[in-house]
C-alpha cells in the first residue's frame, strides 16, 4: 500500500465506524445509509484509490474540476453525484458524467437538465436542494429552494423528460433559525421528505450530513451522507 492508500483506508474506516455507530444508536440498519465521498479539489488518483477501497459513490461541486476527473475514472463503476451550485451553461457538461444532480433548485435548471438528458438519451436522477434558511420564494446563499417552493419544483421534475425525482438534499444552514442546530435542521428536512413521499413514494433519498454532522443526519433519518474532509483531509481554501 502507498502512504496515500493507507491514509485513505484509515480515514475511511474511521468514517465507516462513525456511520455504523450512528446507525446502531438510531436503531437503523447500516444498509439504510449510503456513504458518498466528496472528492472535490482532490485528484483522480484519489478517486481511483477510493474505488479500490470499496467506495462506489463520489460527489463533486465544480464542473471544471469534476469533468476531467470523471473522464479519467470512466473505467470505474462509480456513481457520480453533482452537489454544487449549477449554472445552466455547465449543464451539458455535467449531464455527460453525473448520475445524480443533488442541487436542483430552480425551474430554469430543471428545463436545462431535461433538455441535456434527452439529448444524451439518458435518465438523470435529481434531488431538490432545500435551503432551510431561505425565505418564502427565495433561494439560499449557498443555493437551494425555500421549503414552500418544493412542490412546484417537484412537479416540474415529474413532468420533465429525461429526469427522475429521487428526493431531497440539504446543507445545514450557517445562519438563521437553524444555525448550529443541525439535528433540528435535518428533522425538518425529514418532515419535508415525508410530505414529498406521500405523493411520490419513489423519491425516497434524503441527502444530509457532512464530516462534522453525519451523526445528526443519520439520527434524523438521512439515507445518504456526503463526507469530504473526514476521508480525504482538509481542503485548501477553494472549494
Ligand atoms: C464539500 C461538500 C460536502 C462535504 O463537506 P465536508 O465537510 O468536507 O465533509 C458535502 N456537501 C456539499 C454540498 C459540499 O459542497
Establish whether residue 83 lines the binding site of ligand 1, counting it when its CB lies within 6 angstroms of any ligand atom. Answer: yes
Establish whether residue 227 lines the binding site of ligand 1, counting it when its CB lies within 6 angstroms of any ligand atom. Answer: yes
Compute the residue count for the chain: 239
Q: Domain extents for the chain? A: 3-231
Residue whose entry in the numeric block shows the C-alpha cell 502512504: 3
Q: Contact, 106 vs 78, CB < 8 A?
A: no
Rounded Cα distance, 35 and 120, in Å = 27
Q: Which contiguous run of DSSP H or E holds residue 115?
A: helix 107-120
Closest protein CA for atom 12 of ligand 1? 83
Closest protein CA for atom 13 of ligand 1? 83
38: phi then psi, degrees, rounded to nearest 5: -85, 110
Q: How far, in Å, is the centroid of ligand 1 from the Cα of 166?
A: 19
Digit-by-digit pLDDT tens for the chain (239 residues) are: 789 999 999 999 999 999 999 999 999 999 999 999 999 999 999 999 999 999 999 999 999 999 999 999 999 999 999 999 999 999 999 999 999 999 999 999 999 999 999 999 999 999 999 999 988 888 888 899 999 999 999 999 999 999 999 999 999 999 889 999 999 999 999 999 999 999 999 999 999 999 999 999 999 999 999 999 999 999 876 54
Rounded Cα distance, 5 and 91, in Å = 33
Collapsed DSSP state (helix, strand, coil) of residue 43: coil
165: phi then psi, degrees, rounded to nearest 5: -80, 115
**What would the CATH number be for the domain defined by 3-231?**
3.20.20.10
Amino acid at each position: 500500500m502507498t502512504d496515500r492508500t493507507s491514509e485513505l483506508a484509515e480515514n475511511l474506516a474511521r468514517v465507516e465506524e462513525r456511520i455504523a455507530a450512528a446507525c446502531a444508536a438510531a436503531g437503523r440498519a447500516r444498509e439504510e445509509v449510503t456513504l458518498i465521498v466528496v472528492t472535490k479539489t482532490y485528484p483522480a488518483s484519489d478517486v481511483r484509490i477510493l474505488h479500490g477501497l470499496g467506495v462506489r459513490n463520489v460527489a463533486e461541486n465544480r464542473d471544471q474540476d469534476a469533468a476531467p476527473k470523471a473522464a479519467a475514472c470512466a473505467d470505474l463503476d462509480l456513481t457520480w453525484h453533482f452537489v454544487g451550485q449549477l449554472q445552466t451553461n455547465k449543464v451539458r457538461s455535467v449531464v455527460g458524467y453525473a448520475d445524480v444532480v443533488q442541487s436542483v433548485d430552480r425551474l430554469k435548471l430543471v428545463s436545462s437538465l431535461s433538455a441535456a438528458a434527452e439529448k444524451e438519451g439518458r435518465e438523470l436522477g435529481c434531488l431538490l436542494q432545500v435551503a432551510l434558511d431561505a425565505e418564502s420564494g427565495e433561494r439560499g446563499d449557498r443555493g437551494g429552494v425555500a421549503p414552500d417552493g418544493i412542490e412546484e419544483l417537484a412537479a416540474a421534475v415529474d413532468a420533465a423528460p429525461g429526469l427522475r425525482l429521487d428526493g431531497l438534499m440539504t446543507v445545514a444552514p450557517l445562519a438563521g433559525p437553524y444555525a448550529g442546530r443541525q439535528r433540528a435542521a435535518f428533522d425538518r428536512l425529514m418532515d419535508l421528505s415525508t410530505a414529498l413521499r406521500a405523493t411520490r413514494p419513489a423519491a425516497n433519498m434524503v441527502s444530509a450530513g457532512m464530516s462534522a454532522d453525519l451523526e445528526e443526519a443519520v439520527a434524523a433519518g438521512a439515507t445518504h451522507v456526503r463526507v469530504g474532509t473526514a476521508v480525504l483531509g482538509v481542503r485548501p481554501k477553494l472549494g
